[in-house]
Structure 1
Amino acid sequence: MTFPPDPVRFDEARPLALAVALDTAASGVDVLLVRDILGRISLLLDDRSGGLDAAKTATWRERLKNTLGPYAADRPLLLASGLFQPDAYFASPRAAAELGYVAQPGHGSIRWLDNTVVGGDWARVSTPEAESGGVRTARTALYGFKGGVGRSTATFMLAKHLAGQGNCVLVVDLDLESPGAGPLLVAEEQLPQYGIIDQLVESAVHNEEGLDLVAQATHFHLPNNGELWVAPARGRGAPGTEYAYVDKLNRVYADVPGHGQGSFADRLEAAVHACEDAVARESRRPDVVLLDSRAGIHDIAAVAISRLCDLALLFGSDNGQTWAGYRALFTAWLSSGQAPEIREKLRMVASMVPDADRASYLETFRDHAWECFSVLYDDLVDGNTGFNPSPEDGSAPHSPIPILFAIELVGLDAVTTPGWDDRAFVRAAYDSFLKTVTNLMIEGPR
Structure 2
Amino acid sequence: MTFPNDPVRFDQARPLAQAVARSAAATGVDVLLVRDLLGRFSLLLDDRTGGGVDQSQADAWQEQLVASLGRYAAERPLLLASGLFQPDALLASPRAADEFGYVPGPGLGRISWLDNTVVGEDWAKVSTPAADSDGVRTSRTALYGFKGGVGRSTATFMLAKHLADQGHCVLVVDLDLESPGSGPLLVAEDQLPQYGIVDQLVESALGNEEGLDLVAPATHVPVKGNGELWVAPARGRGAEGTEYAYVDKLNRVYADVPAHGLSGFADRLEAAVRACEDAVAQQSRRPDVVLIDSRAGIHDIAAVAISRLCDLALLFGSDNGQTWAGYRDLFTAWRSSGQAPAIREKLRMVASMVPDSPDRPRAEYLESFRDHAWSCFSILYDDLAADDASGFNPSPEDDSAPHAPIPILFTLELVGLDAASTPGWEGAPFVQTAYASFLKTATNLMIEGPR
Whether these two folds match at TM > 0.5 is yes
The residue type paired with residue 194 of structure 1 is Y
Counterpart in 2 of 1:117?
118
State whether residues 205 and 259 of structure 2, in contact with CA within 8 Å, keep that contact through their aligned partners in structure 1.
Answer: no
Q: Deviations over 1:303-360 (max 9, x none)?
A: 1111111110000000111111111111111111211121110110000111342111
Q: Report deviation, 1:256.
A: 1.5
State whether residues 167 and 287 of structure 1, in contact with CA within 8 Å, keep that contact through their aligned partners in structure 2.
Answer: yes
The residue type paired with residue 184 of structure 1 is L
Distance 1:12 1:372 in 2: 22
Distance 1:212 1:259 in 2: 20
Q: Report deviation, 1:262.
A: 2.4
Is 2:385 the partner of 1:381? yes
Q: Report deviation, 1:259.
A: 4.2
- Secondary structure of the residue aligned to 2:290 is strand
State whether residues 32 and 45 of structure 2, in contact with CA within 8 Å, keep that contact through their aligned partners in structure 1.
Answer: yes
**Unaligned residue ranges in structure 1 (runs of 5+):** none
Counterpart in 2 of 1:424?
429
Q: Report deviation, 1:27.
A: 2.1
Tell me which of 423, 432, 438 is aligned to 1:433. Answer: 438
State whether residues 204 and 262 of structure 1, in contact with CA within 8 Å, keep that contact through their aligned partners in structure 2.
Answer: no
Larger mean CA deviation between 111-120 and 345-354 belongs to 111-120
Larger mean CA deviation between 167-176 and 15-24 belongs to 15-24
The residue type paired with residue 394 of structure 1 is D
Counterpart in 2 of 1:342?
343
State whether residues 197 and 234 of structure 2, in contact with CA within 8 Å, keep that contact through their aligned partners in structure 1.
Answer: yes
Q: Report deviation, 1:402.
A: 0.5
State whether residues 409 and 435 of structure 2, in contact with CA within 8 Å, keep that contact through their aligned partners in structure 1.
Answer: yes
Q: Report deviation, 1:422.
A: 1.6
Tell me which of 379, 390, 398 is aligned to 2:395. Answer: 390
State whether residues 163 and 169 of structure 1, in contact with CA within 8 Å, keep that contact through their aligned partners in structure 2.
Answer: yes
Distance 1:177 1:187 in 2: 19
Counterpart in 2 of 1:94?
95
- Secondary structure of the residue aligned to 2:270 is helix
Is 2:139 the partner of 1:138? yes
Distance 1:229 1:258 in 2: 29
- Secondary structure of the residue aligned to 1:143 is strand
Larger mean CA deviation between 300-309 and 4-13 belongs to 4-13
Task: Give the direction of change, closer, same or farther, for the CA distance of 1:258–1:192 in structure 2 (3 Å limit).
Answer: closer
Runs of 4+ residues deviating >4 angstroms: none
Counterpart in 2 of 1:231?
232
Q: Report deviation, 1:258.
A: 5.6
Distance 2:423 2:314 in 1: 27
Counterpart in 2 of 1:34?
34
Task: Give the direction of change, closer, same or farther, for the CA distance of 1:257–1:221 in structure 2 (3 Å limit).
Answer: closer
Is 2:376 the partner of 1:372? yes
Distance 1:68 1:316 in 2: 38
- Secondary structure of the residue aligned to 2:32 is strand
Q: Report deviation, 1:38.
A: 1.0
Larger mean CA deviation between 388-397 and 147-156 belongs to 388-397
Distance 1:396 1:217 in 2: 34
State whether residues 184 and 415 of structure 1, in contact with CA within 8 Å, keep that contact through their aligned partners in structure 2.
Answer: yes
The residue type paired with residue 386 of structure 1 is G
Counterpart in 2 of 1:43?
43
Correspondence 1:210-289 to 2 at 5 A? 210-257=211-258, 259-289=260-290
Distance 1:195 1:16 in 2: 47
State whether residues 206 and 259 of structure 2, in contact with CA within 8 Å, keep that contact through their aligned partners in structure 1.
Answer: no
Tell me which of 412, 422, 429 is aligned to 1:407. Answer: 412
Q: TM-score, normalised by structure 2?
A: 0.96
Distance 2:368 2:71 in 1: 44
Q: Percent same amino acid among aligned pairs? A: 80
Task: Give the direction of change, closer, same or farther, for the CA distance of 1:151–1:70 in structure 2 (3 Å limit).
Answer: same
The residue type paired with residue 425 of structure 2 is W
Q: Deviations over 1:396-419 (max 9, x none)?
A: 111111101111111111122222
The alignment covers a number of residue pairs equal to 443
The residue type paired with residue 416 of structure 1 is S
Distance 1:364 1:107 in 2: 45
Is 2:78 the partner of 1:73? no
The residue type paired with residue 295 of structure 1 is A
Q: Report deviation, 1:105.
A: 2.2
Q: Deviations over 1:222-241 (max 9, x none)?
A: 11111000000111111121
- Secondary structure of the residue aligned to 1:361 is helix
- Secondary structure of the residue aligned to 1:157 is helix
Distance 1:102 1:433 in 2: 41
- Secondary structure of the residue aligned to 2:434 is helix
Distance 2:36 2:318 in 1: 35
Q: TM-score, normalised by structure 1?
A: 0.97
Larger mean CA deviation between 379-388 and 40-49 belongs to 379-388
CA-based RMSD: 1.4
Larger mean CA deviation between 413-422 and 321-330 belongs to 413-422
The residue type paired with residue 377 of structure 2 is F
Larger mean CA deviation between 321-330 and 21-30 belongs to 21-30
- Secondary structure of the residue aligned to 2:407 is strand
Is 2:356 the partner of 1:351? no
Is 2:63 the partner of 1:58? no
Counterpart in 2 of 1:444?
449
Q: Report deviation, 1:204.
A: 0.7
State whether residues 41 and 72 of structure 2, in contact with CA within 8 Å, keep that contact through their aligned partners in structure 1.
Answer: yes
The residue type paired with residue 11 of structure 2 is D
The residue type paired with residue 445 of structure 2 is L
Larger mean CA deviation between 81-90 and 316-325 belongs to 81-90
The residue type paired with residue 43 of structure 2 is L
